[in-house]
Chains A and B, each alone.
Chain A
Amino acid sequence: MPRLRLTGRGLWITALIVPPLAVMVTFVAYPILSALAYAFYDWQGLQRGEFVGFKHFHTVLFTEPFASWTRNAFINNVIVFFSLMVIQNGFGFVLAYALWRELPGAAFHRVAVFLPVVLSTVIIGFLWKLFFHPIFGPVNQIFRGMGLDFLAQPWLGQSSTALGSLIFVNAWAWVGFPTLVFLAGMQRIPTELLDAARMETNSEWVLIRKIVWPLVAPSATVVFILLFIGSFNWFELPYIMVGLDGSPYGSTDVLGLYFYRTAFGNQSAGVQDFGRGSALAVLTFMFIAVVAAFWTIRLRKREIQI
C-alpha cells in the first residue's frame, strides 16, 4: 500500500468516494427513509399535514373498502409470482438444458429467446394487447382458423382469463432471462464432474437432479429472488394492457397499480393521497425485504460449493 504523501492520499480517496456516495444518500437512502416517515402524516395534496401515527396503515389493512382492495391486489401478486415461478423459471430451466447440449442452431436459439427481454414492456404490452383483440387480434384468428372457436375468447376482457393472459405475456417476454442465467450456471459445471457422474448412472434425469440442479443453485437463488421482487413490483405490463384500474372488475389489480392509483389518483377519481400511498409503499417494501432476506438465507444454505 502507498504510504507516501498521506494527506494527499486521504484527500484523493475522499474526492473519489464522496460524489457517488452523495448520489446514493440523496436519491436512494433519503427517499426510502422519507417514505417511511411520510406514511405517518396526513397529506393535503403535496402539503404535509399533521402527524397521525399508524392511521394510514390501519386504513389500508383493516378499513373497508381499502382492506379488500389491498387483499385483492396482494392475492393477485401472489398468483402472479407462483405462476411465473412455475412457467417462466420452469420453462427457462428446460430451455437452458436444451441449449446446454449445444445442438445445431443453439447460438441462434439463444439470441432468439433473449430478444423480447431487451424490448420495452410498453412495446410488449401494446403488441399483445392488439394480438388479444377479441375480433381482429391474430390470437383469436389463429384459434378460429384451427377450428378451435371455443378458444376465441375476449382474453383481456373477462375476469376469468385476464390475469392469466398477462402472466402468459410476462412469461413470453422474460423467459429468456432465467434461461440464460441457468445456462451460464450449467456451462460452469466442470466436465470431469459430469463424465464421472455419467459413469455411475445412465439416467439423464438422475444426473439433472443430483448434479446439474444443485450446481446451478446459486444462479437459481438470484433468479428466484429477482422474480419475487419483480412480481411484487409488477406495474408496467398491467398498466399498459388492462389500465390503471386492473380491469375487468379488479381481476388484474396488483399492488403496483393500487399504490399508483392511491398516491397519484386516476382519471375517474382524481383524489390523490400521499399518506395512504406511502403506507402501502412501506408495507409492500417491508414484505419484499423480509421475505427476500429470509428466503435468500434459506436458498444459500442449499447451495453447494465444488
Chain B
Amino acid sequence: MSTASAKAMAYDNKGILGTLGRDGLLQIILIANTILMLFPIVIMIFSGFKSNPEIFNNPFAIPDFTNLSNYISVWTQTNFIRYLFNSVFVTGVSILSILVLGTMAAYAIARYEFFGASFILLFFMAGLTLPLKLAIIPLFILFRDLGILNTHWALVAVYVAMGLPSTVFIMTGFIRTLPRELEDAARMDGASELRIMWSVLLPLCRPALIISAIHNLVPIWNDFFFPLVFIQRDALKTLPQGLTAFMGEYTTNWGVMFAGLTLAAAPITVIYIILSRQFINGMTSGALK
C-alpha cells in the first residue's frame, strides 16, 4: 500500500498522505487505537455507577459518580474482600518463593563452576516452553496424594514451578554481568560465601529482582485455570475465580456486574499506571535478550 501511495503522492499532493504526511496518518492510527483500547474500560467504569435502565437507555452517558450503591452491594453482599485477600496471599507467597529459589539457582549457576551447571540451566530453560496446563491431571492426583488439594498451597506450588524458569533465566543473565572483583575483594577479607552473596551481590541484583517479580506478578494474579481445578471451597477462591461465581449470581443486575468487574480490575490497573515502565519491561523481558 505504501509504495503505491508514495507514488501517488509524487503526482498528486492532495492525497490523504500528502495533506497529513505519513506521521499524521500514523498519529491517527495511534489515537484511534487508544480510543478503542480505553473506551470499553471507560464504559465499564461508568456503568458501575448506573442502574439497569440507565445502562440500557444511555449506555455512554456520564453517570452520577456519587451513586455508589452498586459498589456497596459488591462490597457488602459478596465475598469480594475474601477473594481479594486470597489473591494477595497466594500471589505474595508465590512471588517471594520464586525470587528466593530463583536467585539461589541463578547465583549458583552464574557464580560457580561446577559439574552439570550448564545441564541444570538447560533443565530450567526447558520449563520455559512447557505448558503446565497440560499436566493438570497428574498435578491433580499429586496434590490429592500430598493432601493439599483445595488449599492455597496447591496454587503456590504450581505458580512457583511456572515462574522459576523465567526467573532463573533473567537472574542468571544479570548476575553474570556483575564484576568478579567485588566478591574477590570480600573473599580476601575472609567473608564467607553466604556473606558475599547476601551483603555484596544481592543488593546489586535489585533491578533484576524487580523485573522478575513483575514478570511473574501479572500471570499469577490473573490466573484462572489452576484455581478452577484445584479450589472448590468458596472461602479459598482467588479474585478471578470468585468473579465467575459472582457474575453467575448477578446475571440480571448489570450495574452490579460492571461494578464488580471494575473493582476486580482496580488493584492491578492502579499499580500498572503507577509503575507502567517497570510493568512493560518486566512483562516483555522474557521475549527479549
Contact = CB atoms under 8 A, between A and B. Distances in A.
A184 B273 CA distance: 19
Q: Is the interface of B mostly helix, strand, loop or mixed?
A: helix
Interface bin, chain A? 35 or more
B34 A108 contact: yes
Interface string B87-119: 000000000000001101101110011100000
A17 interface: yes
A198 B205 CA distance: 40
A27 B160 contact: yes
Q: Is the interface of A mostly helix, strand, loop or mixed?
A: helix
Interface residues of B, number: 92
A121 B113 CA distance: 43
Interface string A98-138: 11010111101111111111111111001110110000101
Given A24-B127, A105-B30, A235-B225, A112 B288 contact: no
A150 interface: no
A87 interface: no
A126 B48 CA distance: 14
Interface of A: 1-2, 4, 8-10, 12-13, 16-17, 19-21, 23-24, 26-32, 34-35, 38, 46, 94-95, 97-99, 101, 103-106, 108-123, 126-128, 130-131, 136, 138, 141, 172, 176-177, 180-181, 184-185, 203-205, 218-219, 222-223, 225-226, 229, 233, 235-236, 239-240, 256, 259, 263-264, 274, 277-278, 281-282, 284-285, 288-289, 292
Given A113-B37, A274-B137, A23 B164 contact: yes
Contact of B6 (A103, A203, A282, A284): A203
A127 B273 contact: no
Contacts of B208: none
B265 A219 contact: no
B112 A180 contact: no
B125 to A, nearest CB: 11
